[in-house]
Amino acid sequence: MLPEIGQFSLILSLFFALSLAFVPLIGYWTGNRLLLETARPLTFIMSFLVLVSFVILGWSFAVDDFSVLYVSQNSNSQLPIWYKLSALWGGHEGSLLLWVLILVGWCSAVALKIKTLPKDIGPIVLSILGMVSLGFLAFLLFTSSPFVRLLPNAPADGGDLNPLLQDIGLIVHPPLLYMGYVGFSVAFAFAVAALITGSLNSSWARWARPWTAASWAFLTLGITLGSWWAYYELGWGGWWFWDPVENASFMPWLAGTALLHSLAVTEKRGVFKSWTVLLAIFTFSLSLLGTFLVRSGVLTSVHSFAADPTRGVFILTLLLILVGGSLLLYAVRAAQVRSSVSFGVTGREAWLLLNNILLTVLTLTVLLGTLYPLIFDALDLGKISVGAPYFNTVFTPIALLLIVFMAVGPLSKWHNTKPSVFLWPCLVSAVLSILISGVITFIYEFNLIAWLSLSVALWVVCLSFGDWFIKVSAGTKGIIPRARQLPRNYYGMLLAHLGIVVTLVGIVLVSLNSSESLLRLSPGDQASVAGYEFRFDALEQVKGPNYVADKGHFTAYKNGLPVAELHPEKRLFTTRQQVMTEAALDAGFTRDLYISLGEKLDGSAWGVRIYVKSFVRWIWLGGLMMMAGGLLAALDKRYKRRVNDHA
Amino acid sequence: MHPVRKKRLFVIMIILVLLGSVVSLIMYALQQNINLFYSPSQIVTGEAPYNANIRAGGMVVEGSVARDPETLAVSFEVTDFRHKVKIEFNGILPDLFREGQGIVAQGKLNSNGVFVATQVLAKHDEKYMPPEVTEALENAQNTSLNNTSNIQPTY
């Protein structure tokens, strides 16, 4: 009975989404305040109904209701309870329900904060969000309902969750990623609302900024967690593969980063207005494109859900309607919002323009590499894949250039900057960073690329602290009161920029200074990798709740002293008869020891991967810093003020 | 020239130079890193280039996996049920690599017609089949069906 209520609740929420999509807009055009004000209650009811069906599906998982097809496909009575609950988003239908739940969650958040917006804008923003919700609820109900029943012949037990997904990573990665992905719908809705009402002024940018920063922070965290998860779960120690689906989440991140920066210009100076609106549309479109790529199965990827052409067609249609509609609106209305303020080539506007150009170029290069196999196939030129080297070759130089400028931009002043402002800080930072990184490179015998990248990293560190110091030492007040006066926004930026540097250092050192060995080892054998001695002590059979495993016992020695014990496992999950590698890690601030069991060879020998990865944690540490920076910026006090309707 | 125009020209020049270098970088990188997929039939009939980075794939032939007793070297055959190609690989095969399963390998075809793989990919889910392999199998099946229908029984 409960699953039917869940289904019914979804159908009801579809009707509320339908009303939300049109009633407030009709109210706006006819000047009917009453209709306009239905937006808020409609949003809350729609969100509540989606929440109800989400809880019901979760309940079906918790009580092993295998008469529900989706539960029987993705869960098993042997599964620990927390994996049963997270199995809810382990497959297409449930993860789409999570998508929709998070979408309506953002809608409700906007509805709660609606008082910070002028009377007209808020309901229209909710109305646009209602349209997006309508599209996804329809997608969920018509092509992928999670409540389909297997009656009267319900299976006795379920098919189990894919063992790769039986991990803490699955519990946290998708919800956070979706928070970011879907959060850009708010910026999108603001952009479309601005186009509809024609009130595209700088206060528009001020409302959109905290929402964009918050979703950007979630997306950053989601991507970081995904990278960390792939690193320890896939068993071969990679942290980024340029897989189409990773790219699908990375493109909105790049575009969202550009959006954050152009919103700043639009808010402070009233320029780049139409560009910012376009970027907001573009960012959310990339989120939708990502959803399409993941769920249609058109690209070969480790993330792909089982392919179903009708889903692909549906979501492509949805993409075309939303993107096409908003771009059409943009084409009609954007001419009215041309900005007439001019700015100099050394002003902060110009630096942020440069940031936007480079980030857009980066987004497009990733987009091209991701879609190239599709284009190739559509033109019947053959089946191809674009290798990671393409992305590395194109992405790295542009990204480094961007990071170099990223450090200089904050020094600049709005409109125009005197060259002398840049001269000394840049000169000192350049000399310092090249020298220090030169010494490091010399000591550790790194190559030229490492020297270059480390210089760039240090350059950013020097200039960021230099900029902070210049800002706090200006004026007559002491340093500490001045430091406390600087807005949270500024500290958020500083933290995020330093996060980029930390990630950069991690990437450079992990790629250039790591040792990776593939060895053939039997219990009792020893191997030395990067100054560590690894001894394969023993192998034993162990039994887990829903698997049996070969568990290796390894001890790592440095200079004859034991530093870590590692226990990699090879698990056989009994329900699906699927084999899984469980890597063993000894995490450290400057290096990770990583062992995973490959295949069992003849006799007692195993193929074993032993890696010593230097500074790999820094990649994710930087991600966390960026996320914290984004949140700090989103929580800036300036955004909390109630907006005057006549502003 | 008028200073404003000079400024504009300067900005446009910078953007053009930037765009030019990005486009040439992309062209270069794409040329180096596009890996075409070839089915076993295409490789056997000589359609695939030698010593170029390509991808090959098919079903792993039952009983074809042979391991070196001392090292991690391994060889196996893949088939689209019309032709077979031998693949050599030095490393650790993925968890879902099994005889009778579809795989895709990346590497080069040497002059002996042996595919030397640098990477072997099997999918994360036993139900999943790489789309390239599916298509290769379908093509092979279609050609074999056509061929049999063209052959007139002679008796």
Cβ <8 Å between B34 and A368 = no
| Contact predicate B100/B78, CB 8 Å | no
Structure confidence at residue A644 as a pLDDT band (50, 70, 90): very low
**Structural domain count, chain A:** 2
Q: Give the residues across from A527 on adjacent strands.
A: A534
d(CA A540, CA B46) in angstroms, rounded, equals: 48
Q: Give the residues across from B36 on adjacent strands.
A: A384, B54
* More confident position, A642 or A124: A124
Domain region containing B93: 34-122
In a domain, A41, yes or no: yes
pLDDT at A301: 58
Instruction: Considering only the beta carbons, identify the residue of B36, B53, B125 that sits closest to A383.
Output: B36
pLDDT at B150: 37
For the record, the structure tokens of A360 come out as: 């857009």
Residue A178 has pLDDT above 50, yes or no: yes
d(CA A71, CA A160) in angstroms, rounded, equals: 9
In a domain, B110, yes or no: yes
Is B31 part of the contact surface with chain A (CB cutoff 8 Å)?
no
φ/ψ of B145, rounded to 5, equals: -65, -45
Strands B102-109 and B53-60: antiparallel
Taking residues A117-133, report their average pLDDT: 91
Taking residues A349-366, report their average pLDDT: 92
Instruction: Considering only the beta carbons, identify the residue of A357, A398, A520 that sits closest to B71.
Output: A520
Q: Which residues contact B13 (CB under 8 A, 6 or more apart)?
A: none
φ/ψ of A497, rounded to 5, equals: -65, -40
**Structural domain count, chain B:** 1
Taking residues A341-352, report their average pLDDT: 81
pLDDT at A401: 93
Taking residues B44-48, report their average pLDDT: 88
CA proximity to A170, closest of A228, A217, A216, A247: A228
Cβ <8 Å between A393 and B22 = no
Determine the 3-state secondary structure of A581 from DSSP.
strand
Residue A646 has pLDDT above 70, yes or no: no
Instruction: Considering only the beta carbons, identify the residue of B34, B93, B124 that sits closest to A164.
Output: B124
Taking residues A174-198, report their average pLDDT: 93
Is A598 part of the contact surface with chain B (CB cutoff 8 Å)?
yes
Interface test with B, best of A358, A400, A599, A609 (most B CBs within 10 A): A599
CA A102 to chain centre: 14
What pLDDT digit, counting tens, does each position of A585-624 carry? 999 898 999 999 988 887 788 999 999 998 999 999 999 9
Structure confidence at residue A204 as a pLDDT band (50, 70, 90): confident
Residue ranges of B 88-127 with Cβ closer than 8 A to chain A: 91-93, 95-97, 104, 106, 123-127
Residue A289 has pLDDT above 50, yes or no: yes
Which domain CATH number covers B39? 2.40.50.140
d(CA B91, CA B84) in angstroms, rounded, equals: 22
In a domain, B24, yes or no: no
User: Which chain A residues contact residue B127 at CB under 8 A?
Assistant: 306
In a domain, A589, yes or no: yes
CA proximity to A560, closest of A607, A520, A526, A589: A526
ipTM exceeding cut-off 0.85 for this assembly: no
What pLDDT digit, counting tens, does each position of B124-146 carry? 555 556 667 777 777 777 765 44
Smallest CA–CA distance, residue A526 to chain B, in Å, is 15
Domain region containing A584: 515-614
What pLDDT digit, counting tens, does each position of A225-248 carry? 999 988 888 777 788 888 888 899
Task: Give the whole-number percent of chain B exceeding pLDDT 70.
Answer: 84
Cβ <8 Å between B130 and A361 = no
Is B50 annotated in a binding site? The answer is no
In a domain, B146, yes or no: no
For the record, the structure tokens of A487 come out as: 């807005």
In a domain, B104, yes or no: yes
Residue A297 has pLDDT above 80, yes or no: no
DSSP state letter for A149: B
User: Which chain B residues contact residue A579 at CB under 8 A?
Assistant: 95-96
Mean pLDDT of chain A: 88
What pLDDT digit, counting tens, does each position of A27-37 carry? 999 989 899 99
Residue ranges of A 286-315 with Cβ closer than 8 A to chain B: 297, 300, 302, 304, 306-307
Residue A461 has pLDDT above 60, yes or no: yes
End-to-end CA distance of chain A: 53
Q: At what angle do helices A2-30 and A168-197 cross, to 10 degrees?
A: 20
Structure confidence at residue A315 as a pLDDT band (50, 70, 90): confident
CA proximity to A415, closest of A268, A276, A273, A203: A268
Task: Give the whole-number percent of chain A exceeding pLDDT 70.
Answer: 96
* Residue pointed to by tokens 């449930």: A94
Residue A520 has pLDDT above 50, yes or no: yes
pLDDT at B147: 44
Helices (H), A474-615: 479-485, 488-512
User: Which chain A residues contact residue B93 at CB under 8 A?
Assistant: 598-599, 607
In a domain, B114, yes or no: yes
Smallest CA–CA distance, residue A398 to chain B, in Å, is 8
Interface test with A, best of B10, B11, B18, B26 (most A CBs within 10 A): B26
Cβ <8 Å between A384 and B34 = yes
What pLDDT digit, counting tens, does each position of A373-420 carry? 888 888 888 778 888 889 988 999 999 999 999 999 898 888 888 888
In a domain, A193, yes or no: no
User: Where on the phi/psi map is residue B75: left (φ > 0), alpha (ψ -120 to 50), or beta?
Assistant: beta
Is B124 annotated in a binding site? The answer is yes
pLDDT at B103: 87
